[in-house]
Amino acid sequence: MSRKIQDDLTDVKMSRQRKWQLRRREQMLCEACGEPAIKGCHRCVECLGKARERARKRLGCKRRYQNAKSYQLEKDGED
């Protein structure tokens, strides 16, 4: 059996998923997948783009804001 993680979140009453996210945030990793996160954001480029597209679908947006940070980071990653 694995050992229980002992840190400042151990005895806090919240879901284990949220604790996992907060631990990743402290380590500067993506909260969704665990890859290295972008500075100033809590997600990696890939997860940031996926979240953007989910929000567009949920809100029914047709137009795209091309100056959004996620678009700029995706474009920089291609170069």
pTM, to two decimals:
0.74
Give the number of other Cβ atoms within 10 Å of residue 41's Cβ. 15
Print the domain residue range for 34: 16-78
- Cα separation, 47 vs 18, in Å, equals 17
Q: How many domains does the chain have?
A: 1
**pLDDT tens-digit profile of 46-74?**
999 999 999 999 999 999 888 888 888 88
Q: In the structure, how many helices (H) and strands (E) does the chain have?
A: 3, 0
The angle, 0 to 180 degrees and rounded to 10, between the axes of the packed helices 45-59 and 69-78 is 140
Residue 11 placed within a domain:
no
- Cα separation, 79 vs 77, in Å, equals 6
Residue 50 placed within a domain:
yes
Residue 43's pLDDT band (cuts 50, 70, 90): very high
